[in-house]
């Protein structure tokens, strides 16, 4: 009796997972195409307007797209009565935040107790996530190292080799 119910529930879950995976497989090529399109647009803007202005224009475009998407998502999610209630809650929170300057009044012992309580629970999960994504973390660290190398006093990168006779 319960077996058929569990089989139907399992079939529903499998169907939902299949739909999500299929949608992700369809979305991946479009995301890659969007990345290449963004790179091409960035190169074009940098060539036409210079590196700083082109990058700022591209960032402004993404801010505009993000604002439009956020507006659409909020319009779908929030109903008019909920929006009024959220505005009242936001006003109350702003008044409370203005009255309380933040962590200045927090007791150090209370904060340390919270951290020592949460650390044993959170640390294994963080380490698992770090080890699972180690190649990405290493690539980001290498990129950060390369970007942060400073220019020497003679205008050369610190890793550039000198040619004979210089």
Query: In the prediction, which pLDDT does 75 show?
Result: 82
Q: How far apart are CA 44 and CA 37, in angstroms?
A: 10
DSSP structural state of residue 103: G
Query: In the prediction, which pLDDT does 40 show?
Result: 92
Query: In the prediction, which pLDDT does 151 show?
Result: 53
Q: How far apart are CA 54 and CA 42, in angstroms?
A: 7
Low-confidence ranges of the chain (pLDDT < 70): 1, 78-106, 111, 150-166
DSSP structural state of residue 166: -
Is 151 in a helix, a strand, or coil?
Answer: strand
Q: Backbone phi, then psi, for 106, in 5-degree steps?
A: -75, 135
Neighbours of 128 (CB within 10 A): 10
Query: In the prediction, which pLDDT does 162 show?
Result: 53
Q: How far apart are CA 123 and CA 155, in angstroms?
A: 44
* Residues contacting 151, CB < 8 A, separation 6+: 157, 158
Query: In the prediction, which pLDDT does 1 show?
Result: 60
Q: How far apart are CA 8 and CA 15, in angstroms?
A: 10
Query: In the prediction, which pLDDT does 127 show?
Result: 81
The answer to whether the beta carbons of residues 46 and 54 sit under 8 Å apart is: yes
Query: In the prediction, which pLDDT does 43 show?
Result: 93
Report the length, in residues, of the chain: 166
* Residues contacting 42, CB < 8 A, separation 6+: 54, 55, 58
Neighbours of 55 (CB within 10 A): 14
């Amino acid at each position: 009796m319960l077996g058929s119910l569990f089989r139907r529930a399992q079939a529903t879950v499998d169907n939902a997972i299949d739909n999500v995976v299929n949608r992700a497989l369809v979305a991946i090529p479009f995301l890659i195409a969007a990345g290449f399109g963004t790179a091409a647009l960035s190169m074009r803007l940098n060539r036409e307007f210079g590196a700083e202005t082109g990058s700022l224009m591209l960032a402004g475009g993404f801010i505009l797209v993000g604002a439009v998407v956020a507006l659409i998502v909020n319009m779908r999610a929030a109903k008019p009565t909920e929006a009024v209630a959220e505005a009242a809650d936001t006003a109350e929170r702003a008044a409370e935040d203005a009255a309380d300057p933040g962590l200045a009044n927090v007791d150090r012992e209370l904060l340390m107790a919270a951290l020592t309580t949460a650390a044993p629970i959170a640390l294994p999960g963080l380490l698992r996530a770090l080890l699972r994504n180690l190649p990405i973390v290493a690539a980001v660290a290498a990129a950060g190292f390369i970007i942060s190398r400073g220019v020497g006093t003679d205008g050369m990168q610190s890793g550039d080799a000198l040619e004979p006779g210089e």
